Amino acid sequence: MTVLLTGAAGFIGYHTAVALLARGETVIGVDNLNDYYDPALKAARLQRLEGSAGFSFRRLDIADRDAVAALVDDLPEIDRVIHLAAQAGVRYSLVNPYAYIRSNIEGHVVLLEACRRLPRLEHFVYASSSSVYGANRKLPFSVDDRVDTPVSLYGATKKAMEEISFSYANVYGTPLTGLRFFTVYGPWGRPDMAAYIFTSKILNGEPIPVFNYGDMRRDFTFIDDIVAGLLAALDRPPATGHNGLPPHAVYNLGNHRSELLTDFIAILEQAIGRKAEVELLPMQIGDVKETFADIDASRRDLGFSPKTAISEGVPRFVAWYRDYHRV
Ligand SMILES: NC(=O)c1ccc[n+]([C@@H]2O[C@H](COP(=O)([O-])OP(=O)(O)OC[C@H]3O[C@@H](n4cnc5c(N)ncnc54)[C@H](O)[C@@H]3O)[C@@H](O)[C@H]2O)c1
């Protein structure tokens, strides 16, 4: 199987590449290695992949039509696509909205347009987000719930990706699956996310910013569980629905445990061996107070079964952080 993997130098992309290579797949990694966060971390992930037989890398921007068309023309053997490249982050969408339009919307369409011409394409899996649930109040968040209230532009672009995908499944019959990831953390994680920011600040003796005065809950999902769900989805392209709906499916990938942010911090403190100095701050615009994934459909259709509690995953993140930064 030959997999085109976008965002291969990113957090989830890197781990996905490792898992695909371990099961003997050929992986064509794509990334533009942008500087939204330290490109040295992306380069370090990539360096670990580049030695592997079966892995090749192309540096390109997924919104660059000519570059993507040329890539796909060059590689007609691609039979699966995992599309993870995106402008991520809720808070940055208030700072640089156009990056979200370009990478998440334009980039997604450019990729779909190119890939629908692949002669052997069996399945195109793409990253959506729990952010699509926005201001929804009903918990846990279910894929059967309406998602019409994104509270950030990031969430709105992920919702748009789902709708655009549905239309491609309808018009071209391309089997597509969108995965709504819930707060992913683990080794090689993202420097703009809580686990990384808190660890860095606690180790530097700096106060950690805690929004909504700590009254937040997140469904923290360990990276290995996400990758297991992603590969399970990849191997199960949706069929055209029995009621004639196009071959498009959406699943939640979350841990199905909504943890208090303060409990997450306590486990982090224990793993680091230091107390955090906490700076309590109001809720940030664009953020949501609570996330909690209903994973009934993912269990039923994908056999998804997350295994990692934060008491196990957080120390694994801290161990990686100390090793990577030599602190
Ligand atoms: N990490 C999470 O908690 C989380 C939660 C929900 C959804 N997601 C989604 O999962 C996917 C992967 O997230 P991640 O945490 O690995 O983020 P990441 O930022 O580490 O990875 C994304 C990668 O895509 C690349 N990229 C961005 N724009 C690009 C473009 N225009 N062309 C080519 N490459 C580009 C970046 O350089 C980066 O390496 C994203 O689509 C993200 O929105 C992540």
- Domains plus CATH for the chain? 2-185+222-257+292-306 (3.40.50.720)
Q: Which residue among 4, 5, 6, 11 is best mutated to probe the pocket of ligand 1, counting the most ligand atoms within 8 A of its Cβ?
A: 11
Of 233, 225, 220, 226, nearest to 291 by C-alpha is 220
Is the pTM value of this prediction over 0.95? Answer: yes
Q: Which two tokens stand for residue 257?
A: 């445990």
Q: Rounded distance, CA 11 to CA 322, Å?
A: 17
Closest C-alpha among 298, 55, 102, 24 to residue 182: 298
Ligand 1 atom index nearest CA of 39: 37
> Cα(85) to centroid of ligand 1, in Å?
5
Our answer to whether residue 126 is catalytic in this structure is no
Residue 13 to residue 181: CA distance in whole angstroms? 13
Q: How high is the pLDDT of residue 240?
A: 79
User: CA-CA distance, 242 to 239, in Å (whole number)?
Assistant: 8
2 lines ligand 1 (CB under 6 A): no
Q: CB atoms < 10 A from the CB of 20, how many?
A: 26
Low-confidence residues of the chain: pLDDT under 70: 242
Strand residues in the chain grouped as ranges (E) = 2-6, 26-31, 55-59, 80-83, 123-129, 176-181, 184-185, 208-210, 217-218, 221-222, 248-253, 259-260, 278-280
Per-residue pLDDT, 162: 98
Confidence at residue 242, expressed as pLDDT on a 0 to 100 scale: 60
184 Cβ inside 6 Å of ligand 1: yes
Please give the pLDDT value at position 239: 86
Mutate to test the pocket of ligand 1, among 65, 133, 181, 230 (most ligand atoms within 8 A of CB): 181
* pLDDT, position 39: 98
Cα of 86 to ligand 1 centre, how many Å? 4
Mutate to test the pocket of ligand 1, among 129, 132, 192 (most ligand atoms within 8 A of CB): 129
Task: Give pLDDT, residue 243.
Answer: 72
**Catalytic position from the list 100, 154, 168, 321:** 154
